[in-house]
Amino acid sequence: MRRLGIHLRRASVLAMSLTAGINFGAPTFALADGPEIFVINPAGVTINNAASISSDDMPAIAGLAVVEFDEEYGPVPFYNADGTVGGGNVSITNSGSLATTAVAFPTLAGLSPAGSVTITNSGSISATSIPASGVEGNEYDDEIQGYGIFASTGWREHVQLYDENGEPTGQWEEEETPGGAVTITNTGLITTAGNNRNFGILAESLEGDITITNGTAGNKTSAAITQTGTYSSGDRYQDGDGAAIGGGSVRGNVTITNHANVTVADNAAIAGISGSRVNDDQFDPDGGDVKIINNGDLKLGYGDGAQEGGSSNLIGIHAGSSGGKVDIQNTGKIQSSGYIDSAISAFSGFSNWVWDGQNYSPVVEPGESITITNSGEIDIKGRTYSEVARGELADGTGIYAEGIGSNIDITNSGKITAGYGAIAGFTSNGGDITIANTGSLATLLDDAEMLVAEATDGGSISITNNGALSSTASGVNAILAHSEFYDERDEGDSQNTQSAQAAIVPADTVSVTGSGNITLTGDDSVGIDVTNNHGSSSVDYSGDVTVSGDNSTGIVASGNSNVSIKVSGDVTASGENSYGIVAAPDGGQDEGDAPIAMSVEVGAGSKVQGGTGPREFGFDETESGDEILNGASGVLFVGGDTNELTNKGTITELNGLAVSVFEGTLTFTEPNYQCYNDNCEWTVEEYNVEFIAGDMTLNNEKGAFILGDIVSGSGDDQIVNRGTIEGVIDLGGGLNSFVNEKDGVFNARGVYSDAAENTLFTNAGILNPGGIGVARDIEIVGNFVQTADGRFVVDIDDEGKYTSDRLYIDGSAELAGVIVPNIVYIESGEPEGDEGLYPTKEYLIVSAEEGASDEGLSVVPKNLQVESTLGFDFALDFRNETDVYLLATAKPIDNIVEAAVDSAIASGAAGSAQNIASVGTTLEAIEEQDVAALTPLIDALRIEADNPAEAAKALNRLIPQNQTGQTANTAKSNLSVGNTMLSCAEREGEYAYTREGQCYYAKIGARRFDRDATTAGAGNEETGYEVLGGIQGALSDQVRLGFALGYESISSDTFDTAQRLAKSDGDRFNFGTVIKNQWGPVNAYLNLTGSYTDYEHTRYVNLGPGMETAKGDQDVWSGTSRLRLTYLNEMGPWYWKPMIDLAATYIDLGGYTETGAGAANLRIASSDEWLFSVMPGLEIGGQTRTADGTILRPYARAGVIIFDDNKTGVAANFASAPAGVGPFDVTGEFDQVAADVEAGLYVLMTSGVNFKLNYEGRYGEDSQQHGGSVKVTAPY
């Protein structure tokens, strides 16, 4: 006889004689050899205990609604007169500490065959179950069980059947009593230790509902459960066997709510089952609903009993029902130290093989829905396929759900790090799968499936991923969604071929959406894998998908009706044999199949990239049996009846192939495990799958890029380009057309097809063979039409492999629109004749086998908004009815100069028109004298002069405008140095504000000068960092003499409003002397300063190879003499002081010759000039004393500096110019009048050491300078 319930096996604990008779309803008490509470009463039991109890041979507290114990079978129920089993309710309340050390007993137990059991515990429980020496347990391992809390209701027994003669038939039947509800509420600590099924809390019932509540909301520690035992013998009945918290009802509902932390060494943490007991392998198809809510943290594989590899039962939360709903809600953290099955696991439905006496037949009972909601962190490990037996699933899954005819709904927002899989949902016999993830997911092992949904017998799948997915292992599928209804590859079984299934109407859909980034770095990996062999497949993804390993694919989707892939993030494959996007019909294409429409859309701003390696598509399998693709391209269509590609972003490649179509036959292998009369072996079957390329429509939208070749198949293809396409277009067979529309740019490397007469290439946009700046020949296999809007951009390069772009057309050519010359380099030649005209050069640009016709072909410059080029005249010549030549004749340089001057005057964006005209005069003289050394410069200017604005920019780069800022900047630097020498402040005495003492001083400072670029000259930005030191001493009572030395590091940029012109770096050495005298409130200062600067100049010429940058070194000397007069007016703690400065500055700019820019190098002549200035001003200040005697003197000064002139200039010529070519003048301007301000603070210490903090600023109409410094003085 086998009953649902525990087997106490301790009849000797009953002290009284059961044969003496017990009144029904009268409780029977029995105490063993300790303080245990053990109560049996078939009418019901109520126990309230607050005492601490410790037992070493039986339960601490047990209440059983039975009549007796059998020596062999344990508790014996009360049988009613009609033979049914009776039993009252059991209620146990405990607040005392309980501890047991036993072999098979629970610490706190309640049992009723027909009634309900309620246990409320708030005391701590410790249950240790250690098998005796030599004890191995029976088939149920009962000898080594040790539970914390146990409750059971219901009764099941096997009854022997007899024949009419009263003889046993050898057959048995089951009789059941359903039992009532089981309710366990625990708020105390529970610790179990021992082997095998050492549950912390276990509740069981046949049909009663089970409710377990452990802990209090918000408190994870008060009811924590720690289970240190291991499972060391026998097989587990199911995944929840031995759980820290377990509840199982054969046909009732199960609800478990846990708020506390749970730590287990080698068992499940929480398990709820309906359809079976937790520790039973028999299932009933009529299971109820199961709901588990966990808010505690679960630690798996921890403790003294933890096994390094975990076990097949190491699960965080396990819930299942044979026929009801399953709901799991988790907010706690689940982590493991070893390998485990799953952090969260669920199943619903029933499937088994049943013996009818002659044969086994399958019995399938569909379950109801599975719902899993997780927001907790999961961190677990697992083993790879190589570490588990063939045919077994690799373990280590974060969330796992398996439904038989059940819908699965998984929502995750927690971070998951798992060995093999982060989230997995599997259905059979129908059932839809919905997964929504916002958490970050990562897997650790090879061949992992990170976020997977598989429906093996049909069912729709929807996956939405907005979390980050990442793995560094190999063979990883980040997102996998497969729905299958039959094996389309088994060609030997006509019922399973795609042709035989054509009558099945596609119903189920498989879709993947989301915005989470996917990053996979291992080989043989796939970002998103979608398959549906009986319906449509779709991907609509806005996150970035990055696969960087070899033999990897960003996104692949297949189906047997519609296949749709839309991306609005980047899809990047960078390894060998790797694809960005692949679309394919599932199982190939057979006659009679329904049409398969495939579409790919790349969103605006998105980029799809294919990897390296061969261009030919192929198929292979890894050692682990995974299918991988060979070859590489950005987007691949495998077969398909109608293929549509819409690109609004960028499609590119690393092997030259951006878009490709495969058609042909692929050979697959399928391993098969077969057994015949106990002889089993693995065989490998081969089968062929045919793919036929259908019609392709490719729309490359405005602003989009396809950077690489496009190779199609035998279908009718239509390509429309409104964006940019670079590469070869191979249209294959069929009737084909390629239209480069008005907004389109086609940087062509060729247009090919199987038959020219079936292909038409129409250009209404920009056609440029090879791309801008590269002259090359291309072939067009087909007829070519350039419309009136078409622009054929022709690169001309007399130094290149090809002197110009050329079209060789295998067909006819109808030419309209314009030819747009793009000059890379043209040798102008030498002027000829009395008028000095340049020779005309000719370039073959079109050759058509069927003839070229002039339908209005004309020539305009590269910039289509102007009517003529500044450097060249162009014309066309049609010859032999097949060829078109472009004729080019150089123009004199004065055309360029005049247009540049006009542009500078009109826009003010290209610097000084006067300077441009000046350098133009020199260039005209060079052209007239035909100076061979400077011919490359003249040619380069013609090439750069696409329009007047570009001509002005090019000429401006020939002018050393960095020289024009030297004079004013040097003069202002000298004045700042002089200011530093005008103070050795005194604390006390008459006229203390202006009294000078004796001191050493040191200063550090920085300044920044900015001048705007204007029509009159270039702009300038100069930064200086200065250190300076000096000494001042007394010559008499009121006369002081001082000296100073300093260093300044200078960095300067010169620019106009459109470009950077030059940079200058310098080292400046400053020196000076000052003599001061004071007559009461009047002070006079005579200051002499000077400097030497060593400059390194760089001028950005940028006129082509050999004329990029010019460099030169220059020495600059300067000297300044300044007289300052001031008058002090004291007003108590404040003062005001008018002043006037008179200064004269001499500057000597050394000459130098540039190097590095070839014909564009300049020779700058030396020059010198004087600047005179006057600056009236007013200073206001005051002082205050601090508690320690420190004097603080703030001050502010404002004035106006006026120079006698605002112009400066130098003369320059080209270094290779002969004597007969005169130099050109370079002039510049600076602000003649500027505001001069200074503000600061003196800090005069009682020690005599003083500090000065100050700001100096100068503000003019087009310039301003800011500077700051810190000065320290020390008396002597």
Which residue from 392, 140, 380 is spatially nearest to 241, judged by alpha carbons? 140
What is the predicted pLDDT for the residue at 486? Answer: 60
d(CA 1105, CA 1045): 45
Tokens 């033979």 -> residue = 83
489 pLDDT higher than 70: no
**Dihedral (C-alpha) 320, 323, 324, 325: value to the nearest 10 degrees?**
60
Angle (deg, nearest 10), helices 893-907 and 948-956: 90
CB 1215 within 8 A of CB 1174: no
CB 702 within 8 A of CB 724: no
What is the predicted pLDDT for the residue at 1228? Answer: 86
Q: What percent of the chain has pLDDT over 70?
A: 86
For the residues 113-129, what does the mean pLDDT come to? Answer: 94
Give the range among 318-327, 630-639, 684-693, 1043-1052 with minimum mean pLDDT: 684-693
Which residue from 629, 572, 631, 632 is spatially nearest to 602, judged by alpha carbons? 572
Which residue from 252, 251, 381 is spatially nearest to 316, judged by alpha carbons? 381
Tell me, rounded to whole angstroms, the distance of Cα 1037 from its chain centroid: 75
What is the predicted pLDDT for the residue at 676? Answer: 67
What is the predicted pLDDT for the residue at 238? Answer: 58
d(CA 272, CA 153): 16
73 pLDDT higher than 70: no
Which of 37-41, 341-345, 375-379, 789-793 shows the highest mean pLDDT?
A: 375-379
Q: What percent of the chain has pLDDT over 90?
A: 59
Question: What does each C-alpha distance from 1049 to 221, 693, 1062, 1119 come to in angstroms?
Answer: 66, 69, 17, 18
User: What are the start-end ranges of the E strands in 219-267?
Assistant: 225-227, 245-249, 254-258, 262-264
- Taking only the tens place, the pLDDT of each residue in 840-850 is 999 999 998 88
Q: Which residues contact 170 (CB under 8 A, 6 or more apart)?
A: none
* Structural domains of the chain, with CATH: 716-890 (no CATH), 895-955 (no CATH), 968-1275 (2.40.128.130)
By DSSP bridging, strand 664-676 and strand 679-691 are antiparallel
15 pLDDT higher than 60: no
Give the DSSP letter string of 690-722.
EE---EEEEEE-TT-EEEEEEE--SS-EEEEES
Which residue from 590, 404, 407, 419 is spatially nearest to 494, judged by alpha carbons? 590
**Dihedral (C-alpha) 619, 621, 622, 627: value to the nearest 10 degrees?**
80
Query: How many other C-beta atoms lie within 10 A of the C-beta of residue 697?
Result: 16
Judged by phi (left if over 0) then psi (alpha if -120 to 50, else beta), residue 420 lies in: alpha
What is the predicted pLDDT for the residue at 755? Answer: 82
Question: What does each C-alpha distance from 813 to 273, 783, 855 come to in angstroms?
Answer: 78, 6, 10
CB 998 within 8 A of CB 985: no
And the tokens for 890? 């150089």
More confident residue, 575 or 420: 575
d(CA 397, CA 399): 6
- Taking only the tens place, the pLDDT of each residue in 581-613 is 999 998 765 555 678 899 999 999 999 999 999
Q: Which residues contact 990 (CB under 8 A, 6 or more apart)?
A: none
And the tokens for 1244? 């005069």
Beta bridge partners of 740: 721, 763
More confident residue, 911 or 1031: 1031
Query: How many other C-beta atoms lie within 10 A of the C-beta of residue 1188?
Result: 7
Q: What are phi and psi of 573, to 5 degrees?
A: -115, 125
What is the predicted pLDDT for the residue at 1176? Answer: 98
196 pLDDT higher than 70: no
What is the predicted pLDDT for the residue at 195? Answer: 65
Give the range among 40-54, 415-429, 944-958, 996-1010 with minimum mean pLDDT: 944-958
And the tokens for 891? 């123009």
Band of pLDDT at residue 398, cut at 50, 70 and 90: very high
Which of 266-280, 494-508, 815-829, 1072-1086 shows the highest mean pLDDT?
A: 1072-1086
Beta bridge partners of 151: 110, 203
Residue 619, burial from CB neighbour count under 10 angstroms (0-12, 13-18, 19+): middle
Q: Which residues contact 198 (CB under 8 A, 6 or more apart)?
A: 127, 129, 145, 146, 147, 192, 227, 229, 242, 267
Q: Which residues contact 219 (CB under 8 A, 6 or more apart)?
A: 259, 260
What is the predicted pLDDT for the residue at 500? Answer: 38
Which residue from 688, 604, 609, 596 is spatially nearest to 643, judged by alpha carbons? 596
Cα-trace Rg, the chain: 47
For the residues 1069-1077, what does the mean pLDDT come to? Answer: 96
For the residues 421-440, what does the mean pLDDT come to? Answer: 95
For the residues 116-125, what does the mean pLDDT come to? Answer: 97
What is the predicted pLDDT for the residue at 389? Answer: 45
Give the range among 292-306, 324-338, 1078-1092 with minimum mean pLDDT: 292-306
Question: pLDDT averaged over the chain?
Answer: 86
- Taking only the tens place, the pLDDT of each residue in 1198-1236 is 999 999 998 888 999 999 999 889 999 998 888 999 999
And the tokens for 66? 């039975």
CB 611 within 8 A of CB 654: yes
For the residues 632-643, what does the mean pLDDT come to? Answer: 94
1099 pLDDT higher than 80: yes
297 pLDDT higher than 70: yes
What is the predicted pLDDT for the residue at 279? Answer: 57
What is the predicted pLDDT for the residue at 289? Answer: 96
User: What are the start-end ranges of the E strands in 1107-1161?
Assistant: 1109-1127, 1129-1131, 1134-1149, 1152-1153
Strand, helix or coil at 770? coil
What is the predicted pLDDT for the residue at 850? Answer: 80
Q: What are phi and psi of 859, to 5 degrees?
A: -130, 130
CB 11 within 8 A of CB 284: no
d(CA 464, CA 437): 6
492 pLDDT higher than 50: no
Question: What does each C-alpha distance from 1179 to 757, 1176, 1196, 1238 come to in angstroms?
Answer: 91, 10, 6, 9
Query: How many other C-beta atoms lie within 10 A of the C-beta of residue 166?
Result: 6
Band of pLDDT at residue 21, cut at 50, 70 and 90: very low
- Taking only the tens place, the pLDDT of each residue in 806-823 is 999 998 888 888 888 888
Strand, helix or coil at 936? helix
Angle (deg, nearest 10), helices 935-944 and 893-907: 50
What is the predicted pLDDT for the residue at 103? Answer: 59
H or E segment and range at residue 935: helix 935-944
Band of pLDDT at residue 720, cut at 50, 70 and 90: very high
Band of pLDDT at residue 853, cut at 50, 70 and 90: confident
What is the predicted pLDDT for the residue at 534? Answer: 86
Which residue from 1159, 995, 970, 999 is spatially nearest to 1077, judged by alpha carbons? 995
And the tokens for 134? 């030599």
What is the predicted pLDDT for the residue at 929? Answer: 87
What is the predicted pLDDT for the residue at 867? Answer: 41
**pTM greater than the 0.75 cutoff:** yes
Q: Which residues contact 697 (CB under 8 A, 6 or more apart)?
A: 642, 643, 644, 645, 717, 718, 719
Give the DSSP letter string of 972-1028.
HHHHHHHHHTS--B-SSSTTTTT-B--EEEEEEEEEEEEE--BTTB-EEEEEEEEEE
What is the predicted pLDDT for the residue at 386? Answer: 52
For the residues 1144-1150, what does the mean pLDDT come to? Answer: 95
Which residue from 82, 84, 87, 31 is spatially nearest to 60, judged by alpha carbons? 31
d(CA 420, CA 441): 11
And the tokens for 413? 């927002």
Judged by phi (left if over 0) then psi (alpha if -120 to 50, else beta), residue 1132 lies in: left
**Dihedral (C-alpha) 842, 844, 845, 846: value to the nearest 10 degrees?**
140
d(CA 795, CA 866): 18
And the tokens for 921? 């005069």
And the tokens for 1097? 């100049």
Give the range among 116-125, 596-605, 863-872 with minimum mean pLDDT: 863-872
Strand, helix or coil at 526? strand
Tokens 């550090």 -> residue = 1004
Strand, helix or coil at 969? helix
Question: What does each C-alpha distance from 718 to 213, 704, 730, 733, 752 come to in angstroms?
Answer: 67, 17, 12, 12, 13
Tokens 């478990």 -> residue = 256
Q: Give me the amino acid identity at 489.
A: R
